[in-house]
Structure formats: structure tokens, C-alpha cells
Amino acid sequence: MAASSGRTVGSFLWKCGNFCFNFNTVSSNLTRQVLSRQLCVSAVFHRKNLAAAGPEKFSEEFIKKQVEEFNIGKRHLANMMGEDPETFTQGDIDRSIAYLFPSGLFDNKAKPLMKHPDEVFPKQRAVQWGADGRPFHFLFYTGKQSYYSLMHDTFTKALAVEKHQDRLRGKGLFTQDAKQISLVGSRWLLKEELEELLVETISDHDYARFIQLMERLLSLPYCSAEEDFVQRYRRQLEIQSSKQQVQPLQYDQHGVAYSTGDGRRKTATGTVLLRDSGSGSISINGTNYVHYFPVLQDREQLMFPLHFMGVLGRFDMQCSVSGGGHSSQAGALRLAISRAMLSFLSEGQVETMRQAGLLTPDPRIKERKKPGQEGARRKFTWKKR
């Protein structure tokens, strides 16, 4: 018997719904008629892409019934928790289940689960042939009918665009600079995502051919007519600057704004306390920065974030740094200063700082020595014999 590694709790709740009348649940006839059968979801369903795994395991009416039961169970749960059933989100459901059924298990897949049936039961295809055994789709015998029909559609669209271009050329209205589709903030669907969309498995070669065909469609000057089609197979990339964690500004007892930041470079770590007092003095480990960093390049690195934002004389800095050499200490402090400055800056300025390379921690480290060589790259002296 397949091990049950997750149980949908919806059915359990109907039992509660039937019994807990004092919670003012709306117990319709439907819920009373629903059998209190418990669902076992086997481990197989946590594997992706079950579509090609064989004949349909669940019929459409079954899935529809599951959806209805889920929705009703959701309303019961909301009532039980004292929340408004209309605005009960999936996050609220997860929290309520974790509260009502606390589990000491560590594996997340073993804990009680209540999600929409579309997320629990994998997408699968209905039976592809009729009562007479004849398949519905003309490409059924290729084995990957959705993939090949998609390729055919794309190519048909490319031909249509080319025909349109030829017609324009015939009329003399063809221009190279027609409006183009903007592709900058998005990426192509990954192979796994495409498989999910098509509900069938495709190979790496198939995926590469698909991308190649789409690129060919995009290379035509008048492809903007098919923009919707193309955007269906693209995903937006997230804006990087939104990932920066900016600490809120703190104020000390005199009302002066201050913030802290820390940074690391190679083996050096540094922390900085930035105060908005307007004198521009910098002290590192108790000494003046001119004495601590006699080399010009290190002092320039300290000033880089301040000069870039144009706030050279504004901040007072108290830095402490340890580890590494003079260059890496300067780099660590530069990162710490940039991070501390974020609290004083607006969103656009944070983005410019990121694009100037001030907010990325430098990942370069000393390359390890390899066995059979004297150093990281240097080999032992070659001896002929």
C-alpha cells in the first residue's frame, strides 16, 4: 500500500462541520451528505510532471468534487477560527491548520496539508481518444502532441508575419524600424515550466528547438503583432534593487541621525557607525584615517561611496576593522559605509549605488593550493628525467 505522506484535511473538517453546531457553522445538506472518507495522497504526487506517467488516475468529476469540498471546508475553517470566510487566504489556511493540528514531525511533506486540489493533484490529460479508439488530436501518434502542435502554431505565426511583411513590401510601406517587442525585463520559460504548461515531458533538444523557433519569430521586424503569444512563454525577472535590506534610521539622545553597517572582504571584517553631524571626521580603531591608511588608494576607497553620492563632508564615521591586509580592510570598510548610507538615501539612489558596484560583497578569495602543484597555479619545476 502506498505510504500516505500527506492527508488533506478538508474531509476531516466536514466531520467537524457536521458536529460543531455551536460554532454557528452553516451546515448545508450537502455537507451532511458528504461521506467522511479520508483521503490518502501518496508520495508519487509530490513528484512533478505526472502527466505522462500513465492513464488518468482521477476523473474530471472527482477533481470538481474535490474543489467544491475544498471551498466549503475553507469556509468552515474560517468560521472556526473566527475569521471572515470571504477574505480567508491560503496563508491563513496554512496557519490555522498548523494551529489546529500541531505536528512534531520535521518533514514538511508529512505534516497535515490543506491546499487547493489543483496544487495537490497534478495536472493530467483527459483520455485522448474517443469511444471508437480514434485519437482526437491529429498529432497524437507523435507522442508529444502538445509540443509539436505548439511548434506548428509558432511556425504558422512566423509565416503569417512574413506574409504580412511581403504585402507591405509590395505596397512600399515596409520599414525596418517597426515597433519591437521589449524583451529586456523577462526571460524565456524554463524547460520545467514549459513541461508543466504542456502537461507532457520534453527533452533538452526539444526545448532548445522551441527557443530557437521563438528567436526566429522575434527576428522578424513586424513580430509585434504576435506579442501576446510570445509573452505567454516569457516570465518577468524581479527587480534586483528590491532585494536590498535597508535598515530604518535611528536617532540618538541629541536627535542626531545615525546608522550602522558592516562589511567583509577576503578575511577582513569592518563595522561603521555613520552619524549625520556634518563634520566629516573619520576614526578607525581609535586612530585618524590618515594615519591608519597611509596609502592613497585605501583612503580613496573609503571616500568612494561618499563622493559618489556627493555627501563628502556630511557624515561622521567611527569604524572598527580587523583581519586581512590594508587593501581588504579598506574594501570591507567601503562595503560597510555603503550599507550604512542606505538608510539615508532614497530608492533611486540605492539603485544607482547598486549599479556602481558598491553594494555587492566582493566574492573573490585566495585560490586554494592544489595537490601535485606548488601553489594555486604554479606547477613544480619540470624535470625531464
Partner 1 sequence: MLYFGKQIIEISFALWHLPESLPRGLRGTTFSKMSASITGLLKPWTPRVFLVRWSRYNPYYLEPEPRKEVYHIPETELTPEQKEERELKSVRPIKAATNSVTSSVFNDPVLSKFVNMMMKDGDKIIAKGIITQTLENMKRKQVEKYHKAPEGKKAEIECNPYAIFHQALENCKPVIGLASIQKGGKFYQVPIPLTDNRRRFLAMKWMITECRDNKHRRTLMYEKLSQELLAAFSKEGNVVKRKHELHKMAESNRAYAHYRWW
The contact set with partner 1 (CB under 8 A) reads 180, 182-185, 187-188, 190-192, 204-205, 207-209, 211-212, 214-216, 218-219, 237-241, 295-297, 300-301, 303-304, 307-308, 310, 327, 330-331, 335, 351-352, 354-358, 360-365
Write down the least CB distance from residue 308 to partner 1, Å: 4
CB of 56 to partner 1, least distance (A): 26
Give Cβ neighbours of residue 38 (< 8 Å, ≥ 6 apart): 7, 11, 12
Torsion of CA 141, 143, 147, 152, to 10 degrees: -20
Q: Which lies closer to partner 1 via its Cβ, residue 140 or residue 308? A: 308
Look up residue 34 and give its three cell numbers.
458528504
Per the CB < 8 A criterion, the answer to whether 162 and 220 are in contact is: yes
For partner 1, the closer CB: 229 or 304: 304
CA distance 163 to 160: 5
Nearer to partner 1, 77 or 214 (CB): 214
Smallest gap, in angstroms, from Cβ of residue 144 to partner 1?
16
Nearer to partner 1, 17 or 305 (CB): 305
Query: Smaller CB distance to partner 1: residue 13 or 358?
Result: 358
CB 192 within 8 A of CB 201: no
Output 14-20 pairs: Cβ under 8 A, ≥24 positions apart.
14/69, 14/72, 14/73, 14/76, 16/76, 16/80, 17/72, 17/73, 17/76, 20/80
Q: Is 290 helix (H, G, I), strand (E, B) or coil?
A: helix
Residue placing its CB nearer to partner 1 in the complex, 139 or 356: 356
CB of 178 to partner 1, least distance (A): 13
- In whole angstroms, the minimum distance from the beta carbon of 118 to partner 1 comes to 20
Per DSSP, the chain holds a count of helices (H) and strands (E) of 13, 8
| Minimum distance, C-beta of residue 58 to partner 1, in the bound complex (Å) | 26
CB-wise, 143 or 325, nearer to partner 1?
Answer: 325
C-alpha cell at 212: 530557437
Q: Let me know: does 139 contact 145? Beta carbons within 8 Å.
A: yes
The angle subtended at Cα 340 by Cα 299 and Cα 329, nearest 5°, is: 35
113 beta partners:
8
Whose Cβ is closer to partner 1: residue 274's or residue 358's? 358
Residue closer to partner 1 (CB basis): 186 or 283 = 186
3-state secondary structure (DSSP) of residue 330: helix
Total residues found in the chain within this entry:
385
State in angstroms the smallest separation of the CB of 176 from partner 1. 10
For partner 1, the closer CB: 43 or 208: 208
Of 98, 220, 88, the closest CA to residue 164 belongs to 220
Least distance (Å) between residue 253 CB and partner 1: 35
Number of neighbours of residue 117 by Cβ within 10 angstroms? 20
Q: At closest approach, how far in Å is the CB of 356 from partner 1? A: 5
CB of 326 to partner 1, least distance (A): 9
> What are the CB-based long-range contacts (under 8 Å, 24+) for 132-135?
none
Among 234, 230, 51, 219, which Cα is nearest to 153's?
230
